[in-house]
C-alpha cells in the first residue's frame, strides 16, 4: 500500500470513529479520542488504544492516557505513583505572644528619654523572656500623656521607644527583630478622667498611666516533652 493509500485508510478509520484529526493534533494527544467522549481514549474490541500517527514512546509518556494504554513501553518513572506530599515536621514549637506594659515613669524620669537603673532592671526581665523563645519580633511602642504639644510628645515617645530598643539589643536581642514606634499622646488610657490643663502635680499624677511603653514579644516556645 502506497503512502497516499495509507493516509486515506487512516482518515477513513478516524472519520468512522467520529474523531477529528485536527482536534487530536491541536490537543497534542497521541491517542485518538471521540469528540463526544470528553477526552476518553478510543479502544478496539480487544481493549487496545488507537494511536495517532504522531505516536512515539516519548510522546506517549506525556499523554494523560499513556500509562493506561502503553505502560509497558514507557519509562518506569513515567507511570510510577507520585509520592504524597510529606507533612511538615512538627518542630515541637508553640506560638507565643506576650505583651508587657511598662510605666514610663518606672523607666525614665519625667519628661526624659534616658533609662533609669530601675528601668533597666525591668527591661532585663523582658530580655530574659525573649531569650526563652525562638524569637520572631519584639514591638516597642512609646506613649506620653497629653501635657505638651503634639509634636513634642510624638518625638518624646519615639525617643523613649528607641532607648528601650537600644537597651534590649545591648542585652543580646537581634536588632533586626526589634521594631519601635512612637504614638505620642494619641492612645490615652485615662480618657477624660483627669481634669484640667495646667501642669500641676495632681494632673501629672493622674495622667501617669498614659506615660507608658508597650513591649510585645512574639515567638515560638518549645513544647513540653510528650506533647
- Domain range list for the chain: 3-79, 93-222
Q: What is the pLDDT of residue 24?
A: 38
* 171 CA to centre of own chain: 29
Listed range (44-48, 80-84, 187-191) with the worst mean pLDDT: 80-84
pLDDT digits (tens, 9 = 90+) for 104-156: 888 888 888 899 888 899 899 989 888 888 888 888 999 998 888 999 999 99
Alpha-carbon separation of residue 218 from 19, 101, 177, 204 (angstroms) = 63, 15, 10, 33
Is the pTM higher than 0.85? The answer reads: no
Alpha-carbon separation of residue 63 from 48, 88, 223 (angstroms) = 16, 32, 48
Mean pLDDT, the chain, integer: 77
Q: Which CATH architecture has domain 93-222?
A: 2-Layer Sandwich (3.30)
Amino acid at each position: 500500500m502506497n503512502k497516499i493509500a495509507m493516509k486515506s485508510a487512516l482518515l477513513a478509520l478516524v472519520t468512522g470513529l467520529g474523531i477529528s484529526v485536527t482536534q487530536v493534533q491541536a490537543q497534542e494527544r497521541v491517542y485518538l479520542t471521540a469528540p463526544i467522549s470528553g477526552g476518553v481514549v478510543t479502544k478496539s474490541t480487544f481493549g487496545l488504544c488507537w494511536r495517532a500517527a504522531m505516536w512515539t514512546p516519548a510522546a506517549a509518556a506525556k499523554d494523560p492516557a499513556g500509562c493506561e494504554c502503553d505502560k509497558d513501553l514507557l519509562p518506569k518513572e513515567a507511570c510510577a505513583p507520585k509520592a504524597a506530599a510529606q507533612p511538615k515536621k512538627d518542630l515541637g514549637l508553640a506560638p507565643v505572644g506576650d505583651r508587657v506594659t511598662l510605666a514610663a515613669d518606672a523607666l525614665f524620669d519625667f519628661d526624659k528619654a534616658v533609662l533609669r537603673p530601675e528601668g533597666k532592671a525591668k527591661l532585663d526581665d523582658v530580655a530574659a523572656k525573649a531569650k526563652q523563645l525562638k524569637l520572631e519580633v519584639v514591638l516597642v511602642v512609646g506613649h506620653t500623656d497629653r501635657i505638651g504639644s503634639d509634636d513634642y510628645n510624638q518625638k518624646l515617645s519615639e525617643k523613649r521607644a528607641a532607648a528601650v530598643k537600644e537597651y534590649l539589643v545591648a542585652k543580646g536581642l537581634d536588632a533586626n527583630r526589634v521594631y519601635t514606634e512612637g504614638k505620642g499622646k494619641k492612645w490615652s488610657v485615662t480618657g477624660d478622667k483627669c481634669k484640667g490643663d495646667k501642669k500641676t502635680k495632681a494632673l501629672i499624677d493622674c495622667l501617669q498611666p498614659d506615660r507608658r511603653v508597650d513591649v510585645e514579644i512574639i515567638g515560638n516556645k518549645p513544647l513540653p516533652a510528650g506533647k
